[in-house]
Amino acid sequence: MKVIIMGGVAGGASCAARLRRLDEKMEILLVERGPYVSYANCGLPYHVGGSIENEADLLVATEQMFKVIFAMDCRTNCEVIGINAAKKTVELKNHLTGEVTTEKYDKLVLSPGAAPIRPPLEGIDLPGIFSVRTVADATNIRKWLERDVDRSVGNSFTGVDTVSKPKHAVVIGGGFIGLEMVENLVERGLTVTLLEKLNQVMPPLDPEMARLVERYLVKHNVNLELSDGVAGFRKASKGGLEVLTEKGKAHPADLVVMAIGVKPELALAKMAGIKIGERGGMRVNEQMITSDPDILAVGDAVEVKDFVTGDWTLIPLAGPANRQGRIAADVLAGRDSKFRGTQGTSICKLFGATIAQTGLSEKTLKRIGDTDYEKVYLYPNSHAGYYPGAKIMPIKFLFRKSDGKVLGAQVLGEDGVAKRIDSFAMAIQMGCTIYDLEEAELSYAPPYGSAKDPVNFAGMVAADVLRGDMPIVHWEALGDGFILDVRNPPELEVESVEGAINIPLPQLRARLGELPRDREINILCRSAQRAYYVTRILQQNGFKARNISGGMLARSHRADG
Amino acid sequence: MKVIIMGGVAGGASCAARLRRLDEKMEILLVERGPYVSYANCGLPYHVGGSIENEADLLVATEQMFKVIFAMDCRTNCEVIGINAAKKTVELKNHLTGEVTTEKYDKLVLSPGAAPIRPPLEGIDLPGIFSVRTVADATNIRKWLERDVDRSVGNSFTGVDTVSKPKHAVVIGGGFIGLEMVENLVERGLTVTLLEKLNQVMPPLDPEMARLVERYLVKHNVNLELSDGVAGFRKASKGGLEVLTEKGKAHPADLVVMAIGVKPELALAKMAGIKIGERGGMRVNEQMITSDPDILAVGDAVEVKDFVTGDWTLIPLAGPANRQGRIAADVLAGRDSKFRGTQGTSICKLFGATIAQTGLSEKTLKRIGDTDYEKVYLYPNSHAGYYPGAKIMPIKFLFRKSDGKVLGAQVLGEDGVAKRIDSFAMAIQMGCTIYDLEEAELSYAPPYGSAKDPVNFAGMVAADVLRGDMPIVHWEALGDGFILDVRNPPELEVESVEGAINIPLPQLRARLGELPRDREINILCRSAQRAYYVTRILQQNGFKARNISGGMLARSHRADG
């Protein structure tokens, strides 16, 4: 049997390597359009930033390694220019020699990946506008940043270097790549404008959690421009470029990075005549088989099932691509492996902070019309408060109202975020409930956590809500409800809510007579901890009481704020 | 109803606080023998070391807070000196006033904790020998370290300070507290001897994993003395102490820390006449009720079920104590909460490293006579190898041979250990199999992990074993078996195994004729990755082939080494 795999990197290369391990006799041809059969595309922003200094460090496996270690035919700089699915042949063009050959296959694996979106805007082809997909992209950005020739208008006349190196960058798009590029360009000393068409950065987050990221960007001197898209580019009169926006602004830019997302490369799929799904990716079954039983597909260009919603989705991430490659290899080797779908786990470093999410966001729940959920906002310490370096770690936690099943989590912080998001990710994979999280035995020592880990805490708070021990209300649903602020007067001096009545917690039991019995009492403190105690006291004394989830801390980035 | 809770800190204090939240009317009396009702005993070593500078930072909640916020009677410096379980009364002695009172209870909660073991050795009461259990202990060690009076014999005569401050410390016992004390004393500039009676440090680890910790201690200039117990103490002729060992050594010590373990405080249990289990703790059911239906017990002094083995065990850790306190409160408030048992998750910081484990060790499996398990050794990078700071993270992973269930994991490393141990912990709690770990969607970006996370990798390697794709053998079972080393010659120059045949992986397919067909071929490389490829090649070519799990890296700390 002969298998041709088109496209290296995460999906194709892992498929090829595993297929050889499973079957020593199979004839395998691995074809990659670019010069490298397997490179670390997740590392590209860090190569631009310089923390990964050498281009060679980005190369994961070489063509030679696939040939020698995995005993397969491996061709780089080689592009598929035709597929005849009826005859089961592909036409290949060697870009170095120009030679075109035809190869027959028994099974074909497509791993074309996804390409950066590059809209046909005016000036898009001006020098200095880059995407970040390939090693060459990263290297070209570095060269552009490191060149020391003058680009000023007067240069050719005066011969004097008046502008030595790029100083201002505009990053267009505030998703993973955009944020990673912002960080790396700032760390190279550039001033950076981040232009984002949506009203939030980091689309997998809900907007109120993204607010915290936006605040953090501004704190790091990033010029953040939300709700404004790119309209075009032009040369600036003093050299460099200008990025023109839909709102009519012009941002000076010595360098522009386009990071407005990626879309599946469908040229191969179209040649093969296989089915494309409504999300614009190749449609595959759990075994990664396309509508043509002899063609499999893996990686960024396929649609996969979100196993929490059951919906088709595109998930251009290395982890799933890698697993899909393995599963395709299993299937080709006659095994019955199945891809379980995705749950959207992702993580991003941003300066000293970490942004992570897994499972469903509230946005997604609203989009699919699912109302059987509740959410809580938590602000636990990243580790024991008394051990140095503890920082508040904001968490938005979503769970099913009817049965307590864990639905999703969004975690931000400066340490220990990965630890928590992975626990939530395992919980979602295994169908855990909030009651399981209450009882989870997670690692604790003061440098790493608390006896009640933030993950336990999420389960406990959620369970308090579902058990009816702590009715809650969210800021956006509060309207002009009655607010009882149970913080101490010095805290109110820093920040208070207009119209709220203040009874500090220590005085509360003695002053119950001051509270209305005919109204819902919405209880407020800093993080909702003391308000929880008060909710319990009032409930048991016959009042209608609700805790304002997340308290003042949630108010600072409220969903409708 | 009146509930008396004896003992604050993790178990008792969390029980008291939750009980008040659940029931505003219940009469609650919280009694603590010491001066602080709730303090961070996990933080004590760091107070000694100075990273937690102020004693006040160790106080989690005050007596006043329990009185005012939780509206209960709370008495510190108050000891229970008698329990009459028939009459349901306790006799309390106030240590400040000397007053003795008798209190009636409907329900009693015992949270006495566990006391450091302090054997009746000669000289044990000499000044300079400390345990680390209370705030006073930590403060006294600090005072001892910071005093600048002369302790030399000649001082009272000469009046000259010849010895200013303690320079040499001996820590006795290499468990959690012992290692944390070693770190903190080294960081204060002392030279430290660690004396451990067993042949390994950190008893929850298997010995070969402990070897790595021991190597790390030595690298940090700790004088490590294994397999030698303390026999006594005496004054040294030049001032200070000497720690005498069972093997006849005498280690000079200006400071001695006893950390040879803790044992449940059973005085209260004996007064109450309740049942003690064979592990020496109070026996409770899942609702934390002792043999007396009106007496509950929580924390370090109770035996709990190891839910992986089903055996009774003692688990003196803050996390379980905290959960038990909550569950006891639930039960007292009429709810049906149950403690699910423990799985032995723990973590310890040691200089820049982290040591963590969850679930069963191989030692435990052997002790209980369970042979239905397999293990693998893994040495993945802590995060993407091309991103700065990646370090090898040794993992020992145990799983059930018959069904692939995850049994236990031991993880060592310099970053990202907590992230992995918590994923393993969630996996064990939820009854995951290795096949679930293969497919887990964990967070990945280059600073945090790899597209195949070490947790996925553990699942994949284990699944390769159970699916029969990769038979393995362990160093201790190898005997004089035939070894095929598939590393490259330069690697062999650094370190090689006597008698092993070398065929580098790239040459292997061409040199199969050199290999015996009648013998088991044990394949070796650095980390067992290349040996896996070779195992696959040989298996499919009709050879009997096994991968030596963990390769040269496992050999460096082999179980029988």
Tens-digit pLDDT profile for residues B193-203: 999 999 999 99
Same fold, B352-466 and B472-555: no
Nearest chain B Cα to A339, which residue?
A: B439
Tokens of B193: 């001897």
What's residue B561's pLDDT? 66
To the nearest whole Å, the CA of B322 is away from the closest chain A CA by 7
Instruction: Supply the ipTM of this predicted assembly.
Output: 0.95
Tell me which residues of A are annotated as active site: 42
What's residue A165's pLDDT? 81
**Neighbouring-strand partners of residue B547:** B472, B523
Please, which residues 470-529 of chain A have a Cβ atom closer than 8 Å to chain B?
505-506, 509
CA distance A78 to A295: 19
Residue linked to tokens 């040229």? A267
SS (H, E, C) A203-240: CCCCHHHHHHHHHHHHHCCCEEECCCCEEEEEECCCCC
| Structure confidence by residue, pLDDT tens digits, B16-31 | 999 999 999 999 999 9
Q: Identify the CATH number of the domain defined by range A352-466.
A: 3.50.50.60
Contacts of A439 in chain B (CB under 8 A): 323, 340, 429
Please state, for a pLDDT cut of 70, what percent of chain B lies above it. 97
What's residue A176's pLDDT? 94
Contact (Cβ atoms closer than 8 angstroms) between residue A558 and residue A476: yes
Domains of chain A: which residue ranges? 2-114+263-332, 129-257, 352-466, 472-555
Pick the CATH number of B472-555 from 2.60.450.10, 3.40.250.10, 3.40.50.150, 1.20.140.10: 3.40.250.10
Residue B329, SS3? helix
Nearest to A451 among B69, B319, B427 (CB): B319
Say if the Cβ atoms of B430 and A425 lie within 8 Å. no
What's residue A149's pLDDT? 52
The mean of the pLDDT values for chain B is 94
Q: Identify the CATH number of the domain defined by range A2-114+263-332.
A: 3.50.50.60
Residue linked to tokens 């050498």? A54
Please, which residues 299-338 of chain B have a Cβ atom closer than 8 Å to chain A?
317-323
Give the containing element (helix H, strand E) for B545: strand B544-548
Task: Please state, in angstroms and as integers, the Cα–Cα distance from residue B218 to each residue in A461, B138, B215, B351, B509, following that order.
Answer: 44, 25, 5, 12, 43
User: At a CB cut-off of 8 Å and minimum separation 6, what does B423 contact?
Assistant: A422, A423, A425, A426, B437, B440, B442, B453, B455
Q: Looking at domain A129-257, does it have CATH number 1.20.120.80?
A: no
Contacts of A10 in chain B (CB under 8 A): 451
Contact (Cβ atoms closer than 8 angstroms) between residue B266 and residue B260: no
What's residue A307's pLDDT? 86
Contact (Cβ atoms closer than 8 angstroms) between residue A12 and residue A109: yes
**Burial class of residue B435 in the structure, from the number of CB atoms within 10 Å of its CB (0-12 exposed, 13-18 middle, 19+ buried):** middle
Q: State mean pLDDT over B228-243.
A: 94
Q: Looking at domain B129-260, does it have CATH number 3.50.50.60?
A: yes
Nearest chain A Cα to B431, which residue?
A: A430
Backbone φ/ψ region at A414: left (φ over 0), alpha (ψ -120 to 50), beta: alpha
**Neighbouring-strand partners of residue B312:** B305
Over chain A (561 residues), the average pLDDT of each successive run of 10 is 93 96 97 92 95 91 93 96 97 96 98 95 97 95 81 46 76 97 97 97 97 98 98 92 97 97 95 96 97 97 91 91 96 96 95 97 95 98 95 98 98 96 98 97 96 96 97 95 97 96 97 96 97 97 97 92 66
Nearest to A145 by CA among A238, A50, A56, A230: A50
pTM over 0.90: yes
Nearest to A299 by CA among A319, A279, A275, A280: A319
Cα R_g (chain A), whole angstroms:
27
Contact (Cβ atoms closer than 8 angstroms) between residue B504 and residue B484: no
> Which alpha helices (DSSP H) does A118-196 contain, by range?
135-146, 155-158, 176-187
Tokens of B341: 């048992």
Nearest chain A Cα to B25, which residue?
A: A540
Nearest chain B Cα to A347, which residue?
A: B443
For residue B560, what pLDDT band results from cuts at 50, 70 and 90? confident
Say if the Cβ atoms of B509 and A71 lie within 8 Å. yes
CA distance B338 to B356: 26
Contacts of A61 in chain B (CB under 8 A): none
One-letter amino acid of A94: N
For residue B9, what pLDDT band results from cuts at 50, 70 and 90? confident
Say if the Cβ atoms of B441 and A69 lie within 8 Å. no
Nearest to B192 by CA among B175, B169, B174: B169
Contacts of B426 in chain A (CB under 8 A): 423, 426-427, 430, 432, 440, 442
Give the containing element (helix H, strand E) for A539: helix A529-540
What's residue A156's pLDDT? 47
Tokens of A386: 């008394």
What's residue A561's pLDDT? 66
Q: Residue B160 pLDDT > 60, yes or no?
A: no
Q: Return the higher-pLDDT residue of A6 and B157.
A: A6
What's residue A159's pLDDT? 44
Cα R_g (chain B), whole angstroms:
27
| Structure confidence by residue, pLDDT tens digits, B281-326 | 999 999 999 999 999 999 999 999 998 888 999 998 888 999 999 9
Q: Looking at domain B2-113+263-332, does it have CATH number 3.50.50.60?
A: yes
